[in-house]
Structure formats: C-alpha cells, structure tokens
Amino acid sequence: MDRQTAKTQLQQLRIELNKYRRAYYTQDAPLVEDYIYDQKYQQLLHLEQQFPDLITPDSPSQLVGDIPASNLSKVTHEIPMLSMGDVFSFTELEEFNERVKNAVGHPVDYSVELKIDGLALSLVYQQGHLVQGSTRGDGTIGEDVTNNVLTIQNIPQTLSQPLDIEVRGECFMPKTAFAKLNQQREQEGASVFANPRNAAAGSLRQLDAKITAHRKLSTFIYTMVNPQAVSVPTQDQALLQMQQLGFNVNSERLISHDLAGVKEYIAKYQQLRDQLPYGIDGIVLKVNDFTLQERLGNTVKVPRWEIAYKFPPEEAQTTIRQIEWTVGRTGVVTPTAVMDPVQLAGTRVNRATLHNMDMIRQKDVRINDTVLLHKAGDIIPEVSQVLQDKRPQNTQSYEAPTSCPSCGSKLVHLEDEVALRCINPMCPAQVKEGLTHYASRNAMDITGLGPKIVEQLWQHHLVQDVADLYRLTYQDLTEIDGFGDKSINNLLEAIADSRQNSLEKLLFGLGIRHVGAKAAKLLAQKFQTMEKLMQASSTEILAIDTLGETIANSLQVYFANPKVQQLIQELTQLNVNMKFKGSSIAKTTKSIFSQQTVVITGTLAHYKRQELSELLESLGAHVTNSVSQKTDLLIAGTKAGSKLAKARQLGIKIMDEAQLQQQLQEEV
C-alpha cells in the first residue's frame, strides 16, 4: 500500500473508531459489536505500524476511554487509569510472553484473571474511609460517582484497617439484575439496554443515586494502585490483602508459571462463561511481580506487563426462512433474517440483522441457507457466515427489493451510502417514526406519545405530520382505544406544553439529517430564531465550532424544501415557539454563572431540574450533583436538606429561587 492510500484509510478509520468510542464510553450506547470495533482497531494498528509517521494525537491507539460526560463532576487521576492491550489468539499470547521474557531476561509468573465485562472504577480511601469513587473517563480525567458508589452493597465504606489507599476494579451488573431491569423497562415502554456492561455504565453515572441503588450493581476489585502502603510484592498477594480489607475479589483466578496453565484456564472459562452469574469477554494476564511490572513500564496507552485475551464470539447454527425489510425514520430500509429459533449466548434468538444489501451479497445469504450466528458482546445477533456445504439445491441469489415495504415507492441507492433508502417524505413508516422521534424526551418531550399511540393516531387518520399533533382535539382522541378522560387530558396538556420548548428541542425533533441534539443547540445559540437559521448561509453555519460541511449541506437542502417551509409556517401559526430560550454564545462569557460549578437542590416552583441545568450550562456553568469544596454556588429551593447544610459549613455562596429568577431575567 502506498503512503497516500494509507493516509486516507487511517483518516477514515480514526473518524469511525472515535465515533464508536464516544458511543461506547460516553453515551453507554454501542453502535457496533465489540468484535467489529476490534477488527477495525487492528486494521488501524497494522497501518500505523507500517507508517508510524502518520500516527496522530487523536488516533484511538493514543487514547484511553473517552471524554467524560458533562453532567458529572470531574476527577483527575493522579496516576492515569490506562487501558489494556488486546490479543485474539494463543499465538499472540505467546508473542506477548516472549516480549516479557526478553525484557526482563527470564520467565515470569502470571496472575491469570477473568476479564469482567463492566465499567472501570477507582475508589479512594483516607484513614480507611471511602472518600471518592470515579470512572476512568479518558484515563486522566474521570467522573465523580461517589454518591452512587455508596449505594453498591459490596463496596466497603470503611476498611478493616485505617489505610490511605486507592484501588481499582470493575463495576458490573449481574445477569439476573440485567434481565430484570430490561423486563421492567420494556413494560414501561422505555428502551432496553444493549448489554450488562452498558446497563452498569448507565446506572453508575446516574445523577440520582436512588436510581443507582435500585439497579443492583456489583464490583470486583483487582488493582491496588499503591501496594507499598501495605507492603505487598505481588499481584496475587495484593488480591488477598484487598479481600482481607473488605473488597469483593474474584476467586476464579490462578498463578501460572507457564502458558500451558493459561491455555487450560482459557479453555475452561470459554466453556463456563454462560454459567457464570456475571458477564466476561476474555481473560487477563498480568506479570505477578510488582518490581517486574515497574521495570516493564507502560506505553502511552497500555501497560507492557499485562494483556487481555478476548474470547471469540459465540456461534450457533440455524436456518434462514425469510428476510424482512423495515423502514427507519430517515428512510433507510434494513434487512432482518427470520430464522429457526436457536440458543445463542444464553438467549433464544430467531432474528438477526443483515445490515444492508451489500452485506447480503458479500456473504451470499439466501432463503433456506444454513448459517452460523454470533452475538459478539451480547449485543445484536448477526450472521457470521453461510455454510455452503449445507445449501439446498436450486436456491437463487437474493435479489434486492425495488420498492418500499411501507409505501411502495421506488427505493434508491445513494452514491455515498451502502443502504437502500425510501425518499418518499410521506412514507407512512417514516412519518410514524418521525412522529415518535419528535415526541421523544430529548426532542419535544411529549409524555405519553409513544409508538403505539402514534400508530393509532395514524390508523385513525388523525395525523400526517408533526403539525397535526397541535390540531388534535378531545373529541379526536376519544377514538383511540383505551383512552379515558385522564389519558386524553394528559396527552393534550403534554402537546400544549411542548409549544413552549426552546428552539433547539424543535430543531432536533424535526429529524434533520445529521443534526443531533448537540448540533441543534449550537445552531439555536448562534442564530436565536428559526427564521435566521433558515436564511443562514453555509459559510455562517461553518463558522460554528465543531460543525462541518455535512451538517451545513444537510441544513441547506432541508430548508430549501418547499414542504419543509410550509411545515415551519404551519407550526408557527399553531404557536409553536421558534426562538432560543437560553443565552446566546456571546452572552455566555459575560454571565455570572460562567466557569462556575453549581449544585441545584430542593424543590423549585418555577423550574424543572433538567431545564434549569441546561439553562445554566448554556450560560457557561458546570452543573454537578454533589456539594464539595470545588462547588462555587448552591441554588436552594424549599426542603433543601443536607446539601444546604454542607454548603453553609463550607462557606459556599447560596442563592434562593427568587434571587435566581432576578439574575436570569437580567442575563437572558
């Protein structure tokens, strides 16, 4: 490969992998299975090894974790929380072993431990008392989750000895708790978590510790950051000491003097992984001797004295009986294989994603084919490969659909996409998906308007676009099955309340391609009104930091559409707010809240907690959940309680709701 081709591929891989990293680490919502990320990451490493001068600071090979979420206080790790190198074969483990032996001059003992599928966690104790819990974040700066950590039963708040010590480990959600949580969320109509790791991460990073307490999280502690505090020379002894101090330490481990023992350990737990009450995705090999660990040191991202061996995806064999196509909000038509039910990674599976037509052609998937399925990372079942030797005679290659399964319109294959797309803006499936998105919490937040109600409204010909929501009457809703007086009034009230949302909520709710919640807020801050945004040039949009040509072009195309212009006009006539209600970017730097760490507590009469947090953040504040010496301001409503008492004790400035209102009126 020539240098220019490598440069182009590396740039594409960096963009793609960093997108996956943000979704996985920051948003707790993975976009792809682990093995897909691992494959692309290995491609990146291979190219960087060939062309080391093309390595950039933003390469995933140089980064740990991702930027911490903004709604939690930040913690700086004095000793960085590094990641681990990954290998996927025993041959690679042997190569790691050889590197270690060559570096230290002799064979070494290894501590062999299970790789728990959870969220990295740091715990700091002073005089034996827990004072801080934090996530890894980007390795240097993590999130303060102390209040939530206090709700986890197997984390000791007081140690058996009065030590100053930091330990690290994994926070995870047991399989039974995960199943119960997802069952509950399904019953409530909420989205389910993709896997236990993301459920644990989402639970640990809650602003409300009561939610965390109900999620039944657990931990395994496996690292003593300062082992000299208790004079232990090896990882094995450190684990024993941490167990004596009161920490939950995984007992499924061994000390191996050679790789033969490691190989047996791997084989054993690949067989047992489904029977364990917690998720694992591999094993970890650590040089046991701390002196040797120190001699081997670290790279910018990973220790040279430990490696993770990741298990291959579990697979099962089944037969495809049908391929169904579904239409998403943006018109993308996605294929799903419908199969004979099969047990896979502990669950019963009868559907698997095929992603797109290119994937079907690449794997040559046909009706009645026998296939292998995998469920990497316990996320989405996917076809690994077709077993050609079991293919029935006279089968035909699968032909791509030519018409939309929802509206019958001709499907198109845009040049820059692999997906088939329905471009009919009035496609029922797209309109219904769009209505559901418009009503979602991060958009217009219309409580009670979920997919089932949207479907009923559509079937009764009551809505065709989002403007029709604001034309609904009490009499209209009496046609909806199961809707009584209270339900009707609640929905109408929620729809009416949404009229007053700030402009960024509307922008995100409209579902403009490539415009997410963050971009919508930046656009609303910059242009202040829908009218000014619709008139904005690409150059003006590109002047906003972090917004690129893709978003600028998408906005230009969207607002040039006469049907969109008509929709905006209708929404305006229906009294839907078209202005940004926060502070402009120019005002942000002048606010008294700018660069201030703010805590909100108590009951507020004129603000919802989330809305006030967003408003203060738009004025440059950093809103956190707990009072500490780093807090600059406490906003106290009625029944403020312990946070108010602590703020007074620390001498922190306190502002009541009346003072807050007066200040905001002057600034906004």
pLDDT(579) > 80: yes
CA dist., res. 430 & res. 445, Å (int): 19
The closest of 2, 5, 83, 98 to 37, measured between CA atoms, is 83
Rg (CA), the chain: 27
How confident is the model over 556-568, as pLDDT tens digits? Answer: 988 998 889 999 9
Least confident of 6-20, 103-117, 182-196, 338-352: 182-196
Between helices 259-272 and 90-104, what is the axis angle to 10°? 150
Average pLDDT over residues 602-622: 79
pLDDT of residue 523: 94
User: In the structure, what pLDDT confidence band is assigned to residue 547 with cuts at 50, 70 and 90?
Assistant: confident
Identify the CATH number of the domain in which residue 8 sits.
Answer: 1.10.287.610
The closest of 356, 372, 347, 345 to 323, measured between CA atoms, is 356
* 15 and 108 share one domain: no
Identify the CATH number of the domain in which residue 405 sits.
Answer: 2.40.50.140
pLDDT(668) > 60: no
How confident is the model over 333-361, as pLDDT tens digits? Answer: 889 999 999 988 767 899 988 878 888 99
How confident is the model over 217-235, as pLDDT tens digits? Answer: 999 999 999 898 789 999 9
How confident is the model over 231-283, as pLDDT tens digits? Answer: 999 999 999 999 999 999 999 999 999 999 999 999 999 888 878 889 898 99
Print the SS3 string covering 354-410. Answer: CCCHHHHHHHCCCCCCEEEEECHHHCCCEEEEECHHHCCCCCCCCCCCCECCCCCCE
Separation in Å, CA 410 to CA 334, 398, 414, 631, 668: 15, 18, 13, 58, 49
User: In the structure, what pLDDT confidence band is assigned to residue 294 with cuts at 50, 70 and 90?
Assistant: very high
Identify the CATH number of the domain in which residue 439 sits.
Answer: 1.10.150.20
pLDDT of residue 474: 94
How confident is the model over 461-476, as pLDDT tens digits? Answer: 999 999 999 999 999 9
pLDDT(377) > 90: no
pLDDT of residue 244: 93
Average pLDDT over residues 148-155: 89
pLDDT(185) > 70: no
pLDDT of residue 376: 46
* 437 and 548 share one domain: no
Of 412, 441, 476, which one is at a domain's C-terminal end?
412
User: In the structure, what pLDDT confidence band is assigned to residue 586 with cuts at 50, 70 and 90?
Assistant: very low
Catalytic residue among 40, 115, 180, 432: 115
* 130 and 212 share one domain: yes
pLDDT(65) > 70: no
* 541 and 469 share one domain: no
Separation in Å, CA 588 to CA 98, 190, 517, 583, 610: 56, 35, 19, 6, 19
Identify the CATH number of the domain in which residue 236 sits.
Answer: 3.30.470.30
Domain membership of residue 578 (yes or no) is no
pLDDT(454) > 50: yes
Domain membership of residue 420 (yes or no) is no
Least confident of 207-221, 311-325, 583-597: 583-597
User: In the structure, what pLDDT confidence band is assigned to residue 306 with cuts at 50, 70 and 90?
Assistant: very high
pLDDT(638) > 60: yes
How confident is the model over 194-210, as pLDDT tens digits? Answer: 677 888 888 888 777 77
pLDDT of residue 178: 83
Exposed, middle or buried: residue 427 (CB in 10 Å: 0-12, 13-18, 19+)?
buried
- Under 8 Å between Cβ of 418 and 358: yes
CA dist., res. 7 & res. 122, Å (int): 37
Average pLDDT over residues 34-53: 80
Comparing 45 with 68, the larger pLDDT belongs to: 45
* 157 and 240 share one domain: yes
* 133 and 107 share one domain: yes
pLDDT(189) > 70: no
* Sheet order of strands, 129-135 included: 129-135, 119-126, 165-172, 218-224
Domain membership of residue 514 (yes or no) is yes
Phi, psi (deg, nearest 5) at residue 166: -120, 130
pLDDT(68) > 70: no
Strand 633-636 and strand 653-656: pairing? parallel
Least confident of 125-139, 231-245, 398-412, 572-586: 572-586
pLDDT of residue 32: 67
Domain membership of residue 323 (yes or no) is yes
Total of domains in the chain: 6
* 104 and 219 share one domain: yes
Comparing 413 with 571, the larger pLDDT belongs to: 571
In single-letter form, the type of residue at position 37 comes to Y
Domain membership of residue 449 (yes or no) is yes
* 334 and 359 share one domain: yes
What does pLDDT average to over the chain?
86
Average pLDDT over residues 530-553: 89
Q: Report residue 364 as tokens.
A: 């040559």
| 660: containing domain | 587-667
pLDDT of residue 267: 94
Its pTM stands at 0.49
* 39 and 159 share one domain: no
Domain membership of residue 640 (yes or no) is yes
Task: Give catalytic status of residue 581 as yes or no.
Answer: no
Domain membership of residue 64 (yes or no) is no
- Under 8 Å between Cβ of 508 and 443: yes
Q: Report residue 132 as tokens.
A: 């801080």
Of 363, 388, 412, which one is at a domain's C-terminal end?
412
pLDDT(415) > 70: no
Exposed, middle or buried: residue 365 (CB in 10 Å: 0-12, 13-18, 19+)?
buried
pLDDT of residue 187: 44
Of 525, 551, 573, which one is at a domain's C-terminal end?
573
What's the distance, Cα to Cα, between the start and end of the chain in Å? 56
* 385 and 447 share one domain: no
* 491 and 523 share one domain: no
* 336 and 391 share one domain: yes
Give residue for tokens 């990497």. 376
Domain membership of residue 69 (yes or no) is no
